[in-house]
Amino acid sequence: MSPSTETVGRDRRTADWDLAAGVDNYAALVLGQLSGALLSFWALSIVSHALEASGYGRVVAILAVSQAVAQVALHWSVLSLYRHGCQEFVETGRLASAFWTRLLIVAASGSLVAATAPLWFGPLLGWFGMPPEAAWLVPIHVASSALSIHVHYALLAAKQPRFQSLALVLNRGVLVLALVFGSSSEILSWRAVALLYALAPLFEAALGLVRLRPLIYPGIGVDRRLLRTMLAFSLPLTVHGVLGYLSTNYLDAFFILKLLSPAHLGVYALAYQLVGTFMQMATMAGSLLLSLFVTLGLEGKSERTTHYFRELLPVLSLLWSGACIVFSAAGALLIRLFFGPSFSESAALLWPLGAAAALAGPVFLGFGPLIHARSVTFVSAYLATVSALVNVSLNALLIPHFGLAGCAWATTAAYGAGTIVAVTLSRNLVDARVRWYLLPAAPAVVAAAVAVRSESVLGAAAGMATLLALAIAERPRVERSLLRLSRFAVHRPAPAAGGGPTE
């Protein structure tokens, strides 16, 4: 029997709550993500028709510059808020120390960014081909996204994923309404669209702050001991922030603008945004797993984590690979039906980018949350380093010869390399083997290789045939895992009535 809402509320700080509410939480996140994706798709459709590929490419360039600044200089410490905020919430039922301490880190980082801006801001605009008159949009987007992400991870640390999902949907809805109004009034220039995207995160942040108020106020202040702990946790992630940027679509934007054109960037950005939206299905599961792994560790039940990695994650990765194949086929059809001819090349790019998502599945669904729950963040630094080297070198090598397809395959290789690093450096934590997590991605890789040379239908068929062959080869493990997952979905463990953990 599923636990009542009141019982679950009392047990929110236990691992049994994570397990009992996990299915419902994930369903709520998926529903929110699907709703948000539809709204984002609607917004993207409005923007693409109003600006076409070249105008949309300029908007993407502004977002790329903003993300470069935010990810490298501000976001490097945000996972410390989730990791140590979750621990504070489990132990005390509050979030004030982690929330305000990490906000101080953001303020200090932001001040340093502003003070040094004259040294690097102009060259950065030039690298991305952004006109100086649009430079004022960048600090607005950097500040709003920094606050929004801080609140986003605070909600996750307080085990409020459903409200966080609702806030995201409402935020996307407000953005769509603004774009519809602008389109009907014929005032949608690329600068106006960029401003709307820059201001949109503030609405989500405001909703989150209202929800978090009982947990963070009163109690405004900085915990010096926690500050040192958060900085030690985040220090390796500064490397991840800098080098991780070099393995994202924002670095791809730099190469595409330099070697191709803004119109090509718009085409690539559409495909990458669709894949990124789909990949949220895996990252949302990972966000729930992080709080579970942290709570299991505090309760001395780490053997459950080991069982998940050895028995469930390989099969989940195989299922994720199959989902990537279905998405690539459906997404390619969607682009052809709803977007103009200037975006037709985006459909072909979904296949290698879908393979990249499949290769990253084990990291999103397990190793990423594990690395942060166990505070072994040096693994993230090595992962980012290898992924960045692969992405940068292959972009420089492949784009001049293969265009956007070369850029997409460079991303696929970078994601695969990152997964190998994550599994190799984490295997002592859970007794994992690299082949358990690379083989499940083979169906999506095969599908992409076939689809780009022939037709999407043949690619999907080849990928599904590979998936079936792997499932038959690993039949005992697959059957055990599917049986366990089905039983868990139907008969979830109920928390103890008194609020304590149960077996």
For residues 35-62, one letter each, b for 16 or more C-beta atoms within 10 angstroms of the residue's C-beta and e for the rest, the string is bbbebbbbbbebbbebbbbebbbbbbbb
- The per-residue pLDDT for range 139-148, each reduced to its tens digit, is 999 999 999 9
pLDDT at 498 over 50: no
Distance between CA atoms of residues 492 and 489, nearest Å: 6
Contact (CB, 8 A) for 62 and 130:
yes
- Of the pLDDT bands very low, low, confident and very high (cuts 50, 70, 90), residue 339 is confident
Of 6-15, 65-74, 163-172, 294-303, which range is least confident? Answer: 6-15
- Of the pLDDT bands very low, low, confident and very high (cuts 50, 70, 90), residue 190 is confident
- The per-residue pLDDT for range 216-263, each reduced to its tens digit, is 998 898 999 999 999 999 988 887 766 665 666 667 877 888 888 877
> pLDDT: is 192 or 490 the higher one?
192
Residue 257: the pLDDT is 80
Cis peptide leading into 218, omega within 30 of 0? yes
- The per-residue pLDDT for range 253-282, each reduced to its tens digit, is 778 888 888 778 888 888 888 898 889 899
> pLDDT: is 177 or 185 the higher one?
177
CB atoms within 10 A of CB 499: 15
pTM reported for the whole predicted model? 0.81
